[in-house]
Amino acid sequence: MTGCCLLEPYAGLAAGWPPDAAGVAGGLAGMEGLWSLRLLGWPEGAWLADLPAGLAVVGQGVGLQVVGLLSRRVLERWLERLGDGALAVELGRTLAAHLAAEPVLAWGRWRLDLARPRLMGVINVTPDSLSGDGLDRSVAAAVAQGVAMVAQGADILDVGGESSRPGAVAVSVEEEMARVVPVVRALAQLVDRPVSVDSCKPEVMQAALAAGGSIINDINALRGLSGPLPSWLLAGEEPIVLMHMQGAPRTMQLDPRYQDVVAEVYGFLAQRVHACVAQGIARCRLVVDPGIGFGKSSAHNLALLRHLRVFRGLGLPVLLGVSRKRLVGMLVAEEEPARRDVGSHVLAALGVLSGARIVRVHDVAGARQAVAVAQGWCR
């Protein structure tokens, strides 16, 4: 990709983004139907001399950005003047993604209409889960938990056998497979819901799919699959969640740094989507996750949450995982993960209001109520 177009419906200036928005917006502040736009990484050219009112240039050279607020009508007229160059194509695609109807994930016998936000229930078959719910290879307990989650309203069950908490040590392929595959197989036979495998190891993914799994949830965004993507992955229809993570779980929280966390996470996900599609994965299979808590400080996480709507510009469903995370603990002053559910539900509801279509949760019953209220608020 040549450059990046960060677009979102205007929601006020309190968060201080876009930079210098108050200065460039002028009398536009408070008007309805405005969009906040940032253009980064685009080469200088004649287009800079034809910026609409409300946009301004910030920085110069490789650090040049165009930022500001403008209406949809002004944006569309500018797109017409830009012609068919790379900037016009990408900006037009981004705007169209924001205006499109909510997508439908359809594969095999499954169909998830994301006009209704969906709940992904977390099942950790690990001894060291950050959230305190690890079941340590107990197939019976994991299956019982999954059945209960479905009864409470879960739309997807996500089974993981390797902790990704900060400081976690990697486990072997054999150990992870022994934890995950029996649970996936049992749940696939017992519940009428798609079962997701939370893994970044191709061997575990393939075995879980063969056992009845229906979704791949990869915190490493398929970067762990060296060389060309395997034929079993390319030939499948299963959705694939691509998540952003800076570093690896063992060290990711030691000193996470970004110059611009929203732009960098967006750019990473855009690049991973492009790479996957270029290797033959159908774009309609992909879901993106900004990776809250994965190589990010609390300030980074909050910035991503405040501007979650930006990620709708990728044209793909957004998955949000905030349940029981340290960010919630910090906000509500609660050290015990299992007592962070109320704060988690508030963030889940705010995430849905900001465009998240799948929410990964531990307490399904509470999250279902919070998400239902958020959805009702939007009607």
- According to the 3-state scheme, what is the secondary structure of 38-70? EEECCCCCHHHHHCCCCEEEECCHHHCEEEEEE
Indicate whether 158 and 75 sit together in one domain.
no
> Of 59-63, 146-150, 177-181, 292-296, which range is least confident?
59-63
Residue type at position 132: G
Question: Among this protein's residues, is 38 annotated catalytic?
Answer: no
pLDDT given for residue 125 in this prediction: 92
Express as a percent the part of the chain with pLDDT over 70: 91
Active-site annotation holder among 118, 179, 360, 368: 360
Mean pLDDT in residue range 320-333: 96
More confident residue, 62 or 353: 353
What are 79-109's pLDDT values in tens digits? Answer: 999 999 999 999 999 999 999 999 999 999 9
Quick one: which of 270, 280, 283, 279 has its CA closest to 239? 283
Question: Among this protein's residues, is 360 annotated catalytic?
Answer: yes
Indicate whether 140 and 239 sit together in one domain.
yes
User: pLDDT confidence of 204, banded at 50, 70, 90?
Assistant: very high
DSSP 283: G
pLDDT given for residue 120 in this prediction: 98
Contact 22, 50 (CB under 8 A): no
Give whole-number Cα distances, 378 to 97, 353, 375, in Å: 19, 7, 5
pLDDT given for residue 194 in this prediction: 98
Quick one: which of 325, 265, 256, 258 has its CA closest to 289? 265
Q: Where are the alpha helices (DSSP H) in the chain?
A: 21-25, 72-82, 86-99, 139-152, 173-190, 202-210, 231-234, 261-278, 298-306, 326-332, 341-353, 364-378
> Final residue of a domain: which of 75, 99, 123?
99
Round to whole Å and give the CA distance between 263 and 88.
Answer: 19
**Domain total for the chain?**
2
Indicate whether 195 and 327 sit together in one domain.
yes
DSSP 114: T
Mean pLDDT in residue range 50-68: 87
Active-site annotation holder among 179, 296, 325, 357: 325
Whether pLDDT at 29 is above 50? no
Sign of CA dihedral 224, 202, 315, 122: negative
Indicate whether 168 and 59 sit together in one domain.
no
Task: Give 38's contacts (C-beta < 8 A, 6+ positions apart).
Answer: 4, 5, 6, 7, 18, 65, 66, 67, 263
Indicate whether 260 and 293 sit together in one domain.
yes
Indicate whether 126 and 41 sit together in one domain.
no
Contact 301, 333 (CB under 8 A): no
CB-side exposure of 160: number of CA atoms within 13 Å?
Answer: 27
pLDDT given for residue 30 in this prediction: 38
Residue whose tokens read 């595959």: 181
Round to whole Å and give the CA distance between 362 and 157.
Answer: 10
DSSP 133: -
CATH number at residue 211: 3.20.20.20
Indicate whether 66 and 148 sit together in one domain.
no
Quick one: which of 217, 248, 236 has its CA closest to 358? 217
Phi, psi of 193 (to 5 degrees): -145, 150
User: pLDDT confidence of 376, banded at 50, 70, 90?
Assistant: very high
Indicate whether 133 and 39 sit together in one domain.
no
Label residue 308 exposed, middle or buried (CB < 10 Å: 0-12, 13-18, 19+).
buried
Contact 318, 311 (CB under 8 A): yes
Full residue range of the structural domain in which residue 222 is found: 105-378
Mean model confidence pLDDT for the chain: 90
Indicate whether 211 and 321 sit together in one domain.
yes
Round to whole Å and give the CA distance between 151 and 146.
Answer: 9
pLDDT given for residue 13 in this prediction: 44
> Final residue of a domain: which of 51, 84, 99?
99
User: How far from chain centre, in Å, is Cα 228?
Assistant: 24
Whether pLDDT at 362 is above 80? yes
User: pLDDT confidence of 12, banded at 50, 70, 90?
Assistant: low
Indicate whether 322 and 214 sit together in one domain.
yes
The reported pTM is 0.91
> Final residue of a domain: which of 99, 116, 142?
99
Indicate whether 249 and 353 sit together in one domain.
yes
Label residue 69 exposed, middle or buried (CB < 10 Å: 0-12, 13-18, 19+).
buried
Whether pLDDT at 14 is above 90? no
Indicate whether 197 and 116 sit together in one domain.
yes
pLDDT given for residue 247 in this prediction: 79
Give one DSSP letter per residue of 325-372, joined into a string. Answer: -HHHHHHHT---GGG-HHHHHHHHHHHHHTT-SEEEES-HHHHHHHHH
